[in-house]
Chains A and B, each alone.
Chain A
Amino acid sequence: MAQVVSVPRRVSDEALSPELLVQMYDLMVKARVLEERLIRMQKQGDGYFWIGGPGEEAFSVPLGLLVHKGQGPEFDYLHLHYRGGGTMLALGADPVDALRQMKNTATDPYSGGRNFASHYSVRKWNVVPVSSPIEVQYAMAPGTAMAQKRAGGKGITIVTGGDAGTAEGEFASCLIWSSRKGHELPVLIVVTNNQYGISTPYDGQHGEKRVSDRGAAFGIRSLTIDGNDPETSYRAIRSAMDYVRTERKPFFLEAMVSRLYGHSSSSGANFVSEEADCIAQFEAKLEDRKILTRARMSELRTKYTEELLEASKRVREEPQPEPEDVWKHVFAEENMVGKAARKDGAS
């Protein structure tokens, strides 16, 4: 059960514009509806496995909105884990592509039918391939951040993962490599803490009160926030990013979030009513503040639900990869990452 942590004073509580709140709400609903469609598809046999981020939208959506999107070290690199659907939609991803990955079609732009749902990869947006081994992204993040520090621009590296995974060595690697004296790196280290690793509760596995307490030993500024509140998330991510962008130093942001459909399809992917639902909470606020009406909000949900239902039927008809496709791209023929990132012409 996600505990609610008060917002520390360091983050400004300046009001966000109603337009931004509506934009965040829209994306949060779209992300939730997408996850629910993916879960349905898996249950109906239109996919082998589901994992995703329902319950993390109040954090993942603002994160995506604040990213400097683009290709190469001048822009932000994203080393996401498998709960980043909201971030992807906020970046502008087409939700139908996520359905394609669920159905493992040849048209799946993220992996060509090779990988599970929510394993995104978009080179033109610096979204590094999501992979299933827990925590490996934290070992790669210092590398992209080094390139960014060298490039001299404003690009930062953002790495996300869960709470249980912070027990892995790569998490320590990330803290160490990003805080070396004189070699500090522009990394926004994010942990979305849902207080579980599959079935194992946080309590009993961790001596530290909060995961973010570990930042202090490395001189890394750290903060734990209520990630179920999109306004808190937006402000905290923005100020953390500002710090990382301008100081070129790491920041550690822990967001307390919910896990609304359990761990994955392996644990049934059924709605968990005991945990806080960030969308329901946000809806109450938006109604209260007269920013959106109930009718408008349910209209939106219905619209996305219908759109994605129709899209999932179309995706069903798209081709599957051919057996001989397994041999494609074992090796790269050219240095694609080098071309985009290096301006001096060297490949």
Chain B
Amino acid sequence: MATFVQAVRMALHVGEERLGVTDIFGEDIGAPLGGVFTQTQGLRTAWNSPLDERGIVGSAIGLALAGQKPVAEIQFCDYAFNTIDLLKLAGAMCWSSNGDWNCPMVLMTPVGAGIHGSIYHSHSFDAQATRLPGWKIVMPSTPRDAYGLLLSAIMDPNPVMFLAPKALLRQKAQSPEEDVPGVPSDDRELSKMIDAPLGDRSKWRPRWPNTPDLFVPLGEARVVREGCDATVVTYGRHVHVCAKACAELEAEKIDVELIDLRTLHPYDWTAIVKSVKKTGRVLFVNEDTEITNFGEHLVRRTVDELFYELHAPPKVIAGKHLPGVGLADNLEKASVPQQDEIRDALRNLARHEP
């Protein structure tokens, strides 16, 4: 089974060999390191940029406008905040020119807590990203979706942001359905093929497995598990946290439907409507700070459009409105949504009497 980060690398390889990707660039992306998370090892078009996030985003826009297909990276989303006006510019390119120009670039960045990354390696970006009209935003939770969404992002004529949950990067597919098709069944074999060796890498060349053009459509959610007592809608690493909470509740005979949104914008409202009409109870979970949070938008729309379908007040569990995520385990746990809190909220939702 492939890890998330191996899936990213294989998708980028397919991108540069078959889908016209011309540049994969960012800080420490090129040889010999191939990215601080190994995400770009062995890629032909990967190169190191100056340590300048604004330059990275600006150059990606320029490359895109000149007909190239850039995939740029911000090493941690914590360092993308000084690029927001340039991100707005990319998102505005088509609209502000009344359809004259488009800006087909992909921006990847690792996001979120869960790895004891302290204050400046734990930020989330989904609340900011969903405030960038003109962008498509994806956040996969499995290696297969990472692979398939990245291929779709590369083919899209618009700027697409690929948010990679840091805590999942080294996580393997949990089942064949979560795996990248075409990879060897033996993990060590896959590692030998595409993971750069420690030490001298100057002679190393990857052997890429034959993986297919698998396009996971942008804007399509995935029902991770079906249920009829309540719905939980989430994305990224909290898909796994919520899945565990759902499994706990199963023992209590509470049957929760879990939706992995996968694309944050344009998001799959149809999937949410269908599930809420079935369960009448919904919880939105994400780990970005809770004030002016994307989950709040989803609740607002739920109330606006589905009020008479609801049997309980819709709810958001998000990160606490704090300047950062503290390093100590207790601090991190007190800052971002935990399994217990999600489980209890879902239980309350399912049992709520109108």
Interface residues of A (CB under 8 A from B): 72-73, 77, 79, 108-112, 114-115, 119, 121-123, 128-129, 131, 133, 136, 138-148, 150, 157, 169-170, 173, 176-177, 180, 328-342, 344, 346-347
Q: Which of B3-11, B97-105, B121-129, B345-353 contacts A (4 or more CB under 8 A)?
A: B97-105
Cβ-based interface call for B244 (8 A):
no
Count class of interface residues, chain B: 35 or more
Instruction: Please pick, from B60, B85, B86, B101, the residue contacting A129 in the complex, using a CB distance under 8 A.
Output: B101
Cβ-based interface call for B251 (8 A):
no
Q: Give 14 pairs: A residue, B residue, CB < 8 Å, sorted on A.
A: A129-B92, A129-B101, A131-B92, A139-B57, A140-B62, A140-B65, A144-B66, A169-B52, A170-B54, A335-B157, A337-B103, A338-B20, A338-B104, A342-B67
Instruction: Please pick, from B67, B69, B101, the residue contacting A128 in the complex, using a CB distance under 8 A.
Output: B101
5 closest Cβ pairs, A-B complex: A143-B62, A341-B67, A139-B58, A112-B98, A147-B66
Given that A141-B62, A173-B58 are known contacts, is A131 also in contact with B89, CB under 8 Å in the complex?
Answer: yes
State the Cβ distance, A190 to closest chain B Cβ, in Å.
16
Cα–Cα distance between A344 and B69 once the two chains are bound (Å): 13
Cα–Cα distance between A256 and B328 once the two chains are bound (Å): 57
Q: A129-B92, A143-B60 are in contact. List 10 more A-B contacts (CB 8 A).
A: A144-B63, A146-B66, A150-B68, A173-B50, A173-B54, A328-B95, A331-B136, A338-B20, A344-B20, A347-B20
Chain B residues 133-181 with CB under 8 Å of chain A are 133-134, 136, 155, 157-158
Q: Is the CB of A328 within 8 A of B98?
A: yes
Q: Is the CB of B93 within 8 A of A173?
A: no
Instruction: Please pick, from A111, A147, A169, the residue contacting B54 in the complex, using a CB distance under 8 A.
Output: A169
Instruction: Please pick, from A110, A114, A129, A146, the residue contacting B93 in the complex, using a CB distance under 8 A.
Output: A129
Given that A121-B97, A142-B58 are known contacts, is A333 also in contact with B50, CB under 8 Å in the complex?
Answer: no
Given that A146-B59, A328-B98 are known contacts, is A73 also in contact with B157, CB under 8 Å in the complex?
Answer: no
State the Cβ distance, B101 to closest chain A Cβ, in Å.
5
B94 neighbours in A (Cβ, 8 Å): 329-332
Q: Is the CB of B157 within 8 A of A123?
A: no
Beta-carbon contacts of B80-123 to A below 8 Å, as 1s and 0s?
00000110010011111111111110000000000000000000
Q: Is the CB of B66 within 8 A of A148?
A: yes
B136 neighbours in A (Cβ, 8 Å): 331
Cβ-based interface call for B12 (8 A):
no
Interface residues of B (CB under 8 A from A): 19-20, 22-23, 50, 52, 54-55, 57-70, 85-86, 89, 92-104, 133-134, 136, 155, 157-158
B60 neighbours in A (Cβ, 8 Å): 143
Q: Is the CB of A147 within 8 A of B101?
A: no
Instruction: Please pick, from A131, A329, A337, the residue contacting B104 in the complex, using a CB distance under 8 A.
Output: A337
B104 neighbours in A (Cβ, 8 Å): 332, 335, 337-338
Cα–Cα distance between A206 and B202 once the two chains are bound (Å): 46
A111 neighbours in B (Cβ, 8 Å): 96-98
Instruction: Please pick, from A115, A133, A142, the residue contacting B85 in the complex, using a CB distance under 8 A.
Output: A133
A339 neighbours in B (Cβ, 8 Å): 67
State the Cβ distance, B131 to closest chain A Cβ, in Å.
14
B66 neighbours in A (Cβ, 8 Å): 72-73, 77, 143-144, 146-148, 337, 341
B22, B60, B136, B157 interface centre (most CB from chain A within 10 Å): B157
A121 neighbours in B (Cβ, 8 Å): 96-98, 100-101
Given that A129-B101, A176-B52 are known contacts, is A332 also in contact with B58, CB under 8 Å in the complex?
Answer: no
Cα–Cα distance between A145 and B65 once the two chains are bound (Å): 11
Given that A148-B66, A329-B98 are known contacts, is A346 also in contact with B58, CB under 8 Å in the complex?
Answer: no
